[in-house]
Amino acid sequence: MYFKTRALGSSVLAIASFASPVILENAGVPYYFALRIVKGVAMSFALSSMLPMLTRWTTTQEQGLLMGIASAGIGLANSVTYPISGLLCQHGGWKAIFYFGGGCGMVASFLIVCLVYDGPAKHPRVDAEEKQYLLSFQFQSQTSKKRRVIPWAKMLRSVPVWSVVVTNFFFFAVVKGIVLNLPIFVRDVLDFTVTENGIFSAMPLIAALLLHLLIGPFFDYIRNHNKYTPTTVRKIFHVVGTLIPGALMFVSSQLSSEYKYFIISLITISYSLTEFAVMGGFGYAMIDLAPDFLGILQGINKTISLAPGFITPLIVSALTPHGSSEEWKHVFILFGALYVLSCLVFVTCGSAQQQSWGKAIKNDTVSALSDSSKPRNNFA
């Protein structure tokens, strides 16, 4: 089911990307805005299904490493988008950007259909030994065919769950704000050329990608040594990935455009350090809280926390009507404050302890164990 959801999401994104230039030229901005909403819904299908599916292909000892590798494609795509878009726009026109994105979406859909499976049990090319090893780490609800009862009330009243959602809301507001608005800031304030803009706008994304691949194994190493509780480990990583970037945002807000290379360096360092929060902090905390309801929780989390994707640009636009250096200082102060808020919420209310309602078939398991412990009647 998960691979079909991702294939559907990628296909719709590809078709919408191909159709974007046609709709812009012939139907107008309102219809293009409606198409963007459709693309957002399709993206939610693709993103929300990724984490539940990955839990079926990872072990607890290698979770950070394998999830880091699997999700590195997002960082890679973000890091190369700006340079490629600049070249396509310069040599092929603005339409070429949409056609390139649509082509990537079709390739992704083809690869998902051919290579991706929901779990090891359904994969035809996984040998029996590896399949048995992976299945031994799966949660019981993934292998059980019994209908499970979803604890909606407990789920919606859970403070740790909402701490992740609220943290993600503030955190995503900053990282999305940087990704979307950095090219504008580089152009208006730092006065780089178009080519330089593409390169410098991609620098934070490239640095984050490199750190992304290192933090996952580092998190596994720390957690597997059992010197600290999972909650403590996640909170330490989260503080590094939010408080330090927030401080660097405040510093950047006080620098003039004369220090433009230093400003880009600070933004690059702050953005890359956020991978500590993503890979070892709040980012995958839902797996610890309720592994059997991960898909539902991720759906709720993504629906609410992705809202800044359209809220943040409106706020930044209101704060920078003239694009001056003084106006952008307020934006960086806002980003720093949001980082600090995302730090405080998870540190004070977050947890990595499995919740009492997090296992869907706990009672069935206990009953099965009780039945197996009863003496058998060999004469029956």
Query: According to the model, what pLDDT value does residue 5 have?
Result: 63
Query: According to the model, what pLDDT value does residue 1 have?
Result: 53
Segment 130-137 mean pLDDT: 77
What's the mean pLDDT when you consider all of the chain? Answer: 83
Is 4 inside any structural domain?
yes
3-class SS at 84? helix
Distance of alpha carbon 151 from the chain centroid: 25
Segment 325-336 mean pLDDT: 94
pLDDT for 29-82, tens place per residue? Answer: 899 989 988 887 777 777 766 777 777 777 766 766 777 777 777 778 877 887
pLDDT for 73-109, tens place per residue? Answer: 777 887 788 778 878 887 888 899 999 989 988 998 8
Here the CATH number for the domain that contains residue 247 is 1.20.1250.20
Is 212 inside any structural domain?
yes
Is 215 inside any structural domain?
yes
- Rounded Cα distance between 316 and 249, Å, is 15
Are 304 and 337 in the same domain?
yes
Query: According to the model, what pLDDT value does residue 370 have?
Result: 40
Are 7 and 77 in the same domain?
yes
Is 245 inside any structural domain?
yes
Segment 226-237 mean pLDDT: 93
- Rounded Cα distance between 55 and 120, Å, is 11
Are 132 and 230 in the same domain?
no
Query: According to the model, what pLDDT value does residue 111 have?
Result: 85
Are 206 and 263 in the same domain?
yes
Tell me the C-alpha to C-alpha distance, in Å, between residue 329 and each of 47, 121, 206, 256, 270: 33, 53, 24, 9, 16
* pLDDT band at 371; cut points 50, 70, 90: very low
Query: According to the model, what pLDDT value does residue 138 have?
Result: 65
| Domain end marker among 107, 138, 169 | 138
Query: According to the model, what pLDDT value does residue 4 have?
Result: 59
Are 258 and 114 in the same domain?
no
Whole domain around residue 81: which residue ranges?
1-138
| Domain end marker among 138, 171, 189 | 138
Question: Could you give phi then psi for residue 99, rounded to 5 degrees?
Answer: -65, -35
* pLDDT band at 321; cut points 50, 70, 90: very high
Q: Which residue has the higher pLDDT, 44 or 13?
A: 13
Are 82 and 193 in the same domain?
no
Answer whether residue 9 shows pLDDT above 80.
Answer: no
Are 57 and 201 in the same domain?
no
| Domain end marker among 138, 167, 200 | 138
Is 143 inside any structural domain?
no
Are 238 and 280 in the same domain?
yes
Instruction: DSSP for 116-166, please give it.
Output: --SSGGG-TTS-HHHHHHHHTTS-HHHH--S-----HHHHHT-HHHHHHHH
Lowest mean pLDDT among 10-24, 56-70, 135-149, 363-377: 363-377
Are 339 and 283 in the same domain?
yes
pLDDT for 119-131, tens place per residue? Answer: 787 788 888 888 7
Lowest mean pLDDT among 53-67, 271-285, 292-306: 53-67
Are 160 and 133 in the same domain?
no
Lowest mean pLDDT among 16-25, 301-310, 319-328: 301-310
The burial class, CB within 10 Å (0-12 / 13-18 / 19+), for 166 is buried
Cβ pair 79, 213 in contact under 8 A: no
Is 305 inside any structural domain?
yes
Structure tokens that stand for 352 in this block: 């990595």
Query: According to the model, what pLDDT value does residue 296 have?
Result: 85
Are 132 and 155 in the same domain?
no
Domains in the chain: how many in total? 2
- Rounded Cα distance between 134 and 128, Å, is 10
Are 122 and 209 in the same domain?
no
Cβ pair 56, 136 in contact under 8 A: no
